[in-house]
């Protein structure tokens, strides 16, 4: 809630309200609202944040700013802080909708919410990614996961865990070479094709900037995966805090009409 | 009503309410609205979308557009669709961070994720809201909820359910009179003060455009609630699909550095 129409009333209100709050130790002394998931008969679950803090400098695929801000209202002058933000839909931890790589696929608002809350299968390729930034998740990596954990659950998201999130504050996240070609892991197109053929998986997630390898010029995985009515979640954080199987992903996604995707607050329940 | 009067009234009300609770074994014995996540062996839970689809025409507090779009890349010309969006942080179903109504409160990225996943207490005031659009959630409404469902759970969000979401496609959502004053329900400042004093509640949610009543010129509830380190969730959808107690809210919130709030994909697990 914000707007120029409120400013005058707010200015008048501020001083008296501040005085009241200073004089109200009951509010200030309120105990922190501790969260408890404990249910008598269950083991407690906890929440893992899978979202990087996005700033204007957050690395993007195209190298441009993640967003710019118009700080239209500030507390000192207007009694409230309220900004207008111009943001690249594909900046920060964000979702790719089918429409991003198709002429008429589902836009981000059209993805049903129950496709965005799903079991999460984490494929750990840190070892090969450390040896080769152009490494990808292959069908063999999926087979190794299913051998250990059983079939991929219906509606699952398969997450590429390369360890790239640790590089997010450095040039090593985009990892561009002298020719400007980026180098980081993604999903091999054969993997996308295999998962589509099997049918169970709703989404792919990656802790890098793309579900394709950074060096891809043809975006094979994007062009297979998204037009098939699936979604992608890119620049995911926190995969190191998750088990390989058993977590529930809340992928979020803005519900903006006609959007090709957008920054989201992804999290997991473990 | 002066701020000091609010605090004094609240203190008085708290004492009497505590006495009522002490003398009410029924309330004490009522099952706590504890949080429970589905495990394999349990009845499956389902997901309820609490988010309106936001379009440029979505009603806003100040009457301006919710956002504008630069469709920078389109599939026919560029092989992908990708947009840049300029959005009011307080448009659509969105979160208010403490910083929105304070000089130095937490910005939206600073709210810990475990404060944004919480038990949801739904306060149904549809009957009085239908009779009076300036109706508010009062301490008595909270007392009625706790009498039926037990104490508000630690870290809970208290949601105002006025039925206003049904009006979102019409002028009846902002419901402005000839003088431009909006009329829709909110939380009474006494309720905010009481909940702060009790300490358990992390967030307020409303199915209207504001946690204050639309006709407020002084934003008492915002100025009490947000500077105390709490958050608000406004223009929520789907409350008619939730039980009064027992749902788990995923409030989401963008993790944008320095933000005063922002559009979010709110949902509930039931």
The two tokens of residue A103 are 């002429």
CB of A82 closer than 8 Å to CB of A72: yes
Q: What is the rounded average pLDDT for all residues in chain A?
A: 88
Q: A50 in helix, strand or coil?
A: coil
CB of A155 closer than 8 Å to CB of A111: no
Nearest Cα residue to A18 out of B31, B224, B242, B234: B224
Residues 146-205 of B with CB under 8 A from A: 153-156, 180, 193, 196-202
Q: Map tokens 């690395």 to a residue.
A: A59
For residue A101, the tally of other CB atoms under 10 A from its CB is 23
Nearest Cα residue to B2 out of A14, A8, A20, A24: A20
d(CA B188, CA A11): 21
Smallest Cα distance from A100 to chain B, Å: 5
Put simply, the answer to whether A23 touches B35 (Cβ < 8 Å) is no
CB of B226 closer than 8 Å to CB of B102: yes
Q: How much is the pLDDT for B50?
A: 98
Average pLDDT (A1-17) is 43
pLDDT at A150 over 60: yes
Q: How far is CA B138 from the centre of its chain?
A: 15
Give the closest of B62, B102, B196 to A3, CB-based: B62
User: Which residue in the list B52, B100, B149, B222 is annotated as catalytic?
Assistant: B100
Q: How much is the pLDDT for B185?
A: 98
Q: How much is the pLDDT for B45?
A: 75
d(CA B136, CA B185): 5
Q: Is some CB atom of chain B closer than 8 A to the CB atom of A252? A: yes
Put simply, the answer to whether B153 touches A37 (Cβ < 8 Å) is no
CB of A142 closer than 8 Å to CB of A105: no
Closest chain B residue to A90 measured between Cα atoms?
B82
Put simply, the answer to whether B265 touches A256 (Cβ < 8 Å) is no
For residue B170, the tally of other CB atoms under 10 A from its CB is 10
Average pLDDT (B153-165) is 98
Q: Classify residue A266 by burial, with Cβ atoms within 10 Å: 0-12, 13-18, 19+.
A: buried
Residue-wise pLDDT tens digits, B138-151: 999 999 999 999 99
CB of A66 closer than 8 Å to CB of A56: yes
Put simply, the answer to whether A85 touches B200 (Cβ < 8 Å) is no
Residue-wise pLDDT tens digits, B181-240: 999 999 999 999 999 999 999 999 999 999 999 999 999 999 999 999 999 999 999 999
Put simply, the answer to whether B257 touches A53 (Cβ < 8 Å) is yes
Residues 203-222 of A with CB under 8 A from B: none
Residue-wise pLDDT tens digits, B107-132: 999 999 999 999 999 999 999 999 99
Q: How confident is the model at residue A45 (pLDDT cuts 50, 70, 90)?
A: confident
Q: Is some CB atom of chain B closer than 8 A to the CB atom of A94? A: no
d(CA B190, CA B194): 6
Q: Map tokens 């009064």 to a residue.
A: B244
Put simply, the answer to whether B86 touches A83 (Cβ < 8 Å) is no
Average pLDDT (A192-199) is 97
Q: How far is CA B157 from CA A44, A56, A198, B7, B117, in A?
A: 19, 31, 40, 22, 9
Name, in order, each residue with C-beta under 8 angstroms of A26's C-beta and a sequence gap of 6 or more. Answer: B7, B11, B196, B197
* Residue B183, CB-side half-sphere exposure with 13 Å CA sphere: 14
Smallest Cα distance from A128 to chain B, Å: 30
Q: How much is the pLDDT for B123?
A: 98
pLDDT at B49 over 50: yes
Q: Is some CB atom of chain A closer than 8 A to the CB atom of B40? A: no
Smallest Cα distance from B146 to chain A, Å: 18
Q: How much is the pLDDT for B261?
A: 98
- Helices and strands in chain B: count of H runs, count of E runs: 7, 13
């Amino acid at each position: 809630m914000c707007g120029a129409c409120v400013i005058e009333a707010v200015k008048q209100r501020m001083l008296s309200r501040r005085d009241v709050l200073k004089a109200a130790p009951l509010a200030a002394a309120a105990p922190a609202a501790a969260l408890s998931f404990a249910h008598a008969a269950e083991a407690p679950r906890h929440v893992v944040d899978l979202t990087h803090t996005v700033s204007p400098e957050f690395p993007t695929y195209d190298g441009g700013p993640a967003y710019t801000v118009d700080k239209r209202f500030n507390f000192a002058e207007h009694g409230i802080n309220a900004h207008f933000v111009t943001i690249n839909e594909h900046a920060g931890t964000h979702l790719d909708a089918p429409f991003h790589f198709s002429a008429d696929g589902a836009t981000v608002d059209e993805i049903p919410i129950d496709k965005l809350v799903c079991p999460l299968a984490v494929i750990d390729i840190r070892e090969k990614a450390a040896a080769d930034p152009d490494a990808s998740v292959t069908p063999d990596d999926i087979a190794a996961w299913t051998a250990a954990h059983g079939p991929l659950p219906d509606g699952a998201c398969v997450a590429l865990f390369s360890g790239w999130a640790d590089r997010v504050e450095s040039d090593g996240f985009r990892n561009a070479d002298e020719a400007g070609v980026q180098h980081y892991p993604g999903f091999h197109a054969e993997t996308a094709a295999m998962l589509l053929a099997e049918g169970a998986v709703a989404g792919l997630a990656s802790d890098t900037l793309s579900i394709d390898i950074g060096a891809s010029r043809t975006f094979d995985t994007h062009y297979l995966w998204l037009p098939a009515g699936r979604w992608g979640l890119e620049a995911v954080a926190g995969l190191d805090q998750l088990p390989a199987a058993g977590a529930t992903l809340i992928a979020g996604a803005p519900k903006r009409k006609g959007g090709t995707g957008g920054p989201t607050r992804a999290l997991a329940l473990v």
